[in-house]
Amino acid sequence: MSVFDDLRNGIPYDIRDPEYLREAHGEMKRCRNLCWRINSTNPDDREAIITLERELFGGLPEGTFITPPFQVDIGCCFKLGKNVFVNHGLTAMSIGTITIEDGVMLGPEVGLFTVNHEPRNIRVIMTKEIHIKRNAWIGARVNILPGVTIGENAIIGTGSTVTHDVPDGCVAVGVPAKIIKEV
């Protein structure tokens, strides 16, 4: 079992733990360097960017593209479906696993955060997966917090902070995001 599996299964980790340092920091270093290479590539050289994105994520499904610049800290815990489009400025803290299904669109400067710290000991982290289901649309500058599932065909309005699940086919807006209607 890996540190990533433990975290996905709800086991907290002290960030000073030697196993955490070896495994998580090794992956963070790999991803930081790949993100730097991607973000430094000519934006019109789409093939070079796609090649590097494949290396970052261990593959890249058909029709999926993440527009640089972006930052993903743990590529091995970031799962992408087909025909996903992510606009520039993504920040993904994915150590707790992020799953984005087919057809999802993310606007500019979206933040996806799967990790939090234990309030009584900030050196201990806990994670919860973020799951964005098929054909969801996430507006610009939306932040999605640990443990949130965005339903199929859901829409999250620009600037929202999503702290709770959003059901299939619903529109949610605000800070914190609240459901305002069904699509």
- What domains are there in the chain, each with its CATH number? 3-182 (2.160.10.10)
∠ CA 82-84-86, rounded to 5°? 155
- The helix (run of H) or strand (run of E) holding residue 5 is helix 3-8
Crossing angle of helices 46-57 and 18-39, rounded to 10°: 170
- The catalytic position among 88, 117, 131, 164 is 117
Round to whole Å and give the CA distance between 62 and 83.
Answer: 6
pLDDT tens for 45-70 read: 999 999 999 999 999 999 999 999 99
Mean pLDDT score of the chain, rounded to an integer? 97
For residue 1, what pLDDT band results from cuts at 50, 70 and 90? confident
**Model confidence, pTM:** 0.96
Q: How far apart are CA 127 and CA 129, in angstroms?
A: 7
How do residues 78-132 score in pLDDT, each as one tens digit? 999 999 999 999 999 999 999 999 999 999 999 999 999 999 999 999 999 999 9
- How many residues belong to the chain? 183
- Decide if 25 is catalytic: no
pLDDT of residue 109: 98
CB 139 within 8 A of CB 158: yes
- Mean pLDDT of the 17-25 span: 96
